Protein backbone atom coordinates (compact mmCIF):
# COMPACT_ATOMS: atom_id res chain seq x y z
CA UNK A 1 0.00 0.00 0.00
CA UNK A 2 2.80 2.40 0.95
CA UNK A 3 4.64 1.30 -2.17
CA UNK A 4 1.62 2.32 -4.34
CA UNK A 5 1.54 5.71 -2.63
CA UNK A 6 5.23 6.20 -3.29
CA UNK A 7 4.78 5.34 -6.99
CA UNK A 8 1.92 7.82 -7.34
CA UNK A 9 3.97 10.56 -5.67
CA UNK A 10 7.05 9.79 -7.79
CA UNK A 11 5.10 9.96 -11.06
CA UNK A 12 3.35 13.15 -9.97
CA UNK A 13 6.59 14.80 -8.90
CA UNK A 14 8.23 14.03 -12.27
CA UNK A 15 5.70 16.31 -13.98
CA UNK A 16 6.45 20.01 -14.34
CA UNK A 17 4.18 22.57 -12.65
CA UNK A 18 2.18 23.32 -15.81
CA UNK A 19 1.55 19.63 -16.51
CA UNK A 20 0.52 19.03 -12.87
CA UNK A 21 -1.94 21.93 -13.08
CA UNK A 22 -3.42 20.68 -16.35
CA UNK A 23 -3.74 17.10 -15.09
CA UNK A 24 -5.28 18.25 -11.81
CA UNK A 25 -7.77 20.39 -13.74
CA UNK A 26 -8.76 17.53 -16.03
CA UNK A 27 -8.67 14.57 -13.65
CA UNK A 28 -8.27 16.00 -10.16
CA UNK A 29 -5.16 15.65 -8.06
CA UNK A 30 -3.61 12.27 -7.34
CA UNK A 31 -5.66 10.30 -4.81
CA UNK A 32 -4.41 7.79 -2.30
CA UNK A 33 -6.46 4.60 -1.93
CA UNK A 34 -9.03 5.78 -4.47
CA UNK A 35 -10.73 2.36 -4.84
CA UNK A 36 -10.98 2.00 -1.07
CA UNK A 37 -12.61 5.40 -0.73
CA UNK A 38 -15.05 4.56 -3.53
CA UNK A 39 -16.01 1.30 -1.83
CA UNK A 40 -16.71 3.06 1.48
CA UNK A 41 -18.54 6.09 0.05
CA UNK A 42 -15.67 8.55 0.31
CA UNK A 43 -13.92 7.54 3.53
CA UNK A 44 -10.91 5.35 4.23
CA UNK A 45 -11.50 1.85 5.58
CA UNK A 46 -9.80 2.71 8.88
CA UNK A 47 -12.47 5.38 9.51
CA UNK A 48 -15.36 2.92 9.07
CA UNK A 49 -17.18 1.87 12.24
CA UNK A 50 -19.73 -0.32 10.40
CA UNK A 51 -21.20 -0.69 6.93
CA UNK A 52 -24.08 -2.39 5.18
CA UNK A 53 -24.18 -3.72 1.65
CA UNK A 54 -26.75 -2.34 -0.76
CA UNK A 55 -28.84 -5.51 -0.37
CA UNK A 56 -28.85 -5.12 3.42
CA UNK A 57 -30.07 -1.51 3.13
CA UNK A 58 -32.89 -2.71 0.85
CA UNK A 59 -34.27 -5.03 3.54
CA UNK A 60 -37.47 -3.93 5.29
CA UNK A 61 -35.86 -4.15 8.74
CA UNK A 62 -33.41 -1.74 10.30
CA UNK A 63 -30.12 -3.22 11.38
CA UNK A 64 -29.69 -2.63 15.13
CA UNK A 65 -25.92 -2.70 14.65
CA UNK A 66 -26.20 0.60 12.77
CA UNK A 67 -28.14 2.18 15.64
CA UNK A 68 -25.33 1.04 17.96
CA UNK A 69 -22.61 2.32 15.60
CA UNK A 70 -24.23 5.77 15.61
CA UNK A 71 -23.43 5.90 19.34
CA UNK A 72 -19.72 5.06 18.87
CA UNK A 73 -17.45 7.57 20.63
CA UNK A 74 -15.64 8.46 17.39
CA UNK A 75 -18.80 8.73 15.26
CA UNK A 76 -18.75 11.59 12.77
CA UNK A 77 -21.44 10.86 10.18
CA UNK A 78 -23.70 8.34 8.54
CA UNK A 79 -23.08 8.16 4.79
CA UNK A 80 -25.86 6.76 2.61
CA UNK A 81 -25.48 5.66 -1.00
CA UNK A 82 -27.89 7.82 -2.99
CA UNK A 83 -27.99 5.36 -5.89
CA UNK A 84 -30.48 3.43 -3.74
CA UNK A 85 -34.15 4.45 -3.87
CA UNK A 86 -35.39 6.70 -1.08
CA UNK A 87 -37.86 3.95 -0.21
CA UNK A 88 -34.93 1.91 1.13
CA UNK A 89 -32.85 4.67 2.70
CA UNK A 90 -35.56 6.70 4.47
CA UNK A 91 -35.54 4.44 7.53
CA UNK A 92 -31.84 5.15 8.14
CA UNK A 93 -32.30 8.89 7.56
CA UNK A 94 -35.12 8.82 10.12
CA UNK A 95 -32.95 6.87 12.56
CA UNK A 96 -30.16 9.46 12.24
CA UNK A 97 -32.62 12.33 12.79
CA UNK A 98 -34.15 10.60 15.83
CA UNK A 99 -30.69 10.19 17.35
CA UNK A 100 -29.71 13.73 16.33
CA UNK A 101 -26.79 12.41 14.26
CA UNK A 102 -25.33 13.83 11.08
CA UNK A 103 -25.92 12.01 7.82
CA UNK A 104 -25.16 12.69 4.19
CA UNK A 105 -26.18 11.23 0.86
CA UNK A 106 -23.35 10.45 -1.56
CA UNK A 107 -23.89 10.49 -5.31
CA UNK A 108 -21.04 9.15 -7.41
CA UNK A 109 -20.76 7.28 -10.66
CA UNK A 110 -19.10 4.41 -8.79
CA UNK A 111 -21.82 4.21 -6.10
CA UNK A 112 -23.41 1.24 -7.87
CA UNK A 113 -20.48 -0.93 -6.72
CA UNK A 114 -20.02 0.72 -3.32
CA UNK A 115 -21.44 -0.02 0.11
CA UNK A 116 -25.07 0.85 0.73
CA UNK A 117 -24.41 2.70 3.96
CA UNK A 118 -21.33 3.57 6.02
CA UNK A 119 -21.03 4.75 9.62
CA UNK A 120 -17.77 6.70 9.71
CA UNK A 121 -15.58 8.11 12.42
CA UNK A 122 -13.90 11.48 12.49
CA UNK A 123 -10.52 9.74 12.65
CA UNK A 124 -9.13 6.24 12.33
CA UNK A 125 -11.01 3.73 14.48
CA UNK A 126 -9.23 0.64 13.08
CA UNK A 127 -11.97 -1.87 13.90
CA UNK A 128 -11.46 -5.41 12.59
CA UNK A 129 -15.11 -6.37 11.97
CA UNK A 130 -16.82 -3.52 10.17
CA UNK A 131 -19.12 -5.61 7.95
CA UNK A 132 -22.48 -6.18 9.61
CA UNK A 133 -23.62 -9.80 9.52
CA UNK A 134 -26.78 -10.62 7.59
CA UNK A 135 -29.78 -10.08 9.89
CA UNK A 136 -31.76 -13.08 8.60
CA UNK A 137 -28.86 -15.48 9.21
CA UNK A 138 -28.18 -14.00 12.66
CA UNK A 139 -31.82 -14.48 13.71
CA UNK A 140 -32.04 -17.96 12.17
CA UNK A 141 -29.04 -19.01 14.28
CA UNK A 142 -30.95 -17.80 17.34
CA UNK A 143 -33.91 -20.01 16.38
CA UNK A 144 -36.31 -17.30 15.16
CA UNK A 145 -38.87 -18.59 12.66
CA UNK A 146 -38.73 -17.42 9.06
CA UNK A 147 -42.25 -15.96 9.30
CA UNK A 148 -41.31 -13.90 12.34
CA UNK A 149 -38.12 -12.65 10.67
CA UNK A 150 -40.16 -11.61 7.62
CA UNK A 151 -42.64 -9.76 9.85
CA UNK A 152 -40.17 -6.96 10.61
CA UNK A 153 -41.85 -3.57 10.50
CA UNK A 154 -45.27 -5.07 11.19
CA UNK A 155 -47.29 -5.41 14.37
CA UNK A 156 -47.05 -8.85 15.93
CA UNK A 157 -48.74 -10.66 18.83
CA UNK A 158 -47.40 -10.37 22.37
CA UNK A 159 -46.12 -13.97 22.33
CA UNK A 160 -44.05 -13.37 19.17
CA UNK A 161 -42.85 -9.99 20.43
CA UNK A 162 -41.68 -11.47 23.73
CA UNK A 163 -40.08 -14.38 21.88
CA UNK A 164 -37.93 -12.26 19.57
CA UNK A 165 -37.05 -9.70 22.23
CA UNK A 166 -35.91 -12.46 24.60
CA UNK A 167 -33.56 -13.76 21.88
CA UNK A 168 -32.31 -10.34 20.73
CA UNK A 169 -33.57 -7.23 22.59
CA UNK A 170 -32.04 -4.99 19.90
CA UNK A 171 -34.79 -6.11 17.52
CA UNK A 172 -37.25 -3.84 19.39
CA UNK A 173 -36.58 -1.26 16.65
CA UNK A 174 -38.16 -3.61 14.09
CA UNK A 175 -41.30 -4.85 15.83
CA UNK A 176 -44.27 -3.52 17.76
CA UNK A 177 -47.16 -5.27 19.44
CA UNK A 178 -50.72 -5.56 18.25
CA UNK A 179 -53.12 -3.43 20.30
CA UNK A 180 -56.64 -4.41 21.27
CA UNK A 181 -57.89 -1.91 18.67
CA UNK A 182 -55.81 -3.67 15.98
CA UNK A 183 -57.36 -6.98 16.96
CA UNK A 184 -60.83 -5.45 17.00
CA UNK A 185 -60.36 -4.25 13.42
CA UNK A 186 -59.30 -7.74 12.33
CA UNK A 187 -55.54 -7.34 12.20
CA UNK A 188 -53.69 -10.57 12.99
CA UNK A 189 -50.08 -11.49 13.74
CA UNK A 190 -48.35 -12.10 10.36
CA UNK A 191 -46.06 -14.67 11.98
CA UNK A 192 -49.06 -16.99 12.50
CA UNK A 193 -50.75 -16.54 9.13
CA UNK A 194 -50.52 -19.24 6.45
pLDDT digits (tens, 9 = 90+) for 15-38: 666 665 665 565 555 555 667 777
Question: For the CA atoms of the chain, what is the radius of gyration?
Answer: 22
C-alpha span between 94 and 39 (Å, rounded): 24
Q: Cite the DSSP H helix spans in the chain.
A: 2-13, 17-27, 34-39, 54-58, 64-69, 86-98, 135-141, 146-150, 158-167, 180-184
- Looking at the predicted structure, is the pLDDT value of residue 132 above 90? yes
C-alpha span between 181 and 104 (Å, rounded): 39
**Would you call 49 helix, strand, or coil by DSSP?**
strand
- Looking at the predicted structure, is the pLDDT value of residue 100 above 50? yes
Mean pLDDT within 157-182: 94
Superfamily (CATH H level) for 37-121: Ribosomal protein L30/S12 (3.30.1330.30)
**Higher-scoring residue by pLDDT: 137, 9:** 137
Say if residues 187 and 155 touch (Cβ distance below 8 Å).
yes
The answer to pTM > 0.85 is no
Residue ranges of the domains in the chain?
37-121, 135-188
Amino acid sequence: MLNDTNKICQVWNQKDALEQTLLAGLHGGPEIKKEEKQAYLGVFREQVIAFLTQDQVKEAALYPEIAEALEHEKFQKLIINSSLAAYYTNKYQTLAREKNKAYTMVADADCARAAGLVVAGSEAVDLQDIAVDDRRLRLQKLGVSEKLIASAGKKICETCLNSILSLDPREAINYSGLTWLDRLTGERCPAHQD
